[in-house]
Amino acid sequence: MQVYLRCGCRVSRSSVNAHTTAMIGGKRFNAGERLAVRARCGSVVTMVSGGRSVYGLVKKFYRVVCACNRFVDLVVVTWFPFPDYPDDDPLTVKIVLDMVDVNNIEEIEVVPLYDIQPSRVGVEIDNVHDCMYMLRMEGIDTMPEI
């Protein structure tokens, strides 16, 4: 099976580089950090998928440089469950965990780096109620239409 990039180059003739940090919108993000309670987790990113904001934990950043010298930046992410908005306000973001260990989610997705929104995210974990609160430092979420 041959895999081709959008420019028509074969992936097998391209170079692939993995990175643990990336600058997105002038902000530094770190791949592979475990989710822990602190002011900010550099591995948590957000993006809009299906018309709503989703949060995930970055595993690795990749750059593919093809034979025509174009490059594609990708990010490998494990997505958290969809967020809820208990106050019907995009500033109050709650993710119910349902006993999911967010540091060990096995499902991954590869997305273009430029689909990620450059918003630093703080995390508050509520072990008593088995949930966590995402605290965006810039911007607001895109809530699902009801």
* Arithmetic mean of pLDDT over the chain: 83
Instruction: Kindly report the pTM of this predicted structure.
Output: 0.83
Which helix (H) or strand (E) segment is 55 a member of?
strand 52-65
> Could you give the 3-state DSSP secondary structure of residue 13?
helix
Indicate if the pLDDT at residue 34 is higher than 90. Answer: no
**Local confidence band at 1 (pLDDT 50, 70, 90 cut-offs):** very low
Provide the CA 24 distance to its chain's centre, in angstroms.
Answer: 11
Looking at residue 98, its amino acid is D
What residues does each domain of the chain span?
11-136
> Can you tell me the distance from the alpha carbon of 28 to that of 9, in angstroms, rounded to the nearest whole number?
30
Look at the domain 11-136 and name its fold. SH3 type barrels. (2.30.30)
Pairwise pLDDT comparison (71 vs 31), residue with the higher score: 31
pLDDT in tens, 42-93: 788 899 988 999 999 899 998 888 777 777 888 999 999 999 999 888 888 9
Pairwise pLDDT comparison (96 vs 19), residue with the higher score: 96
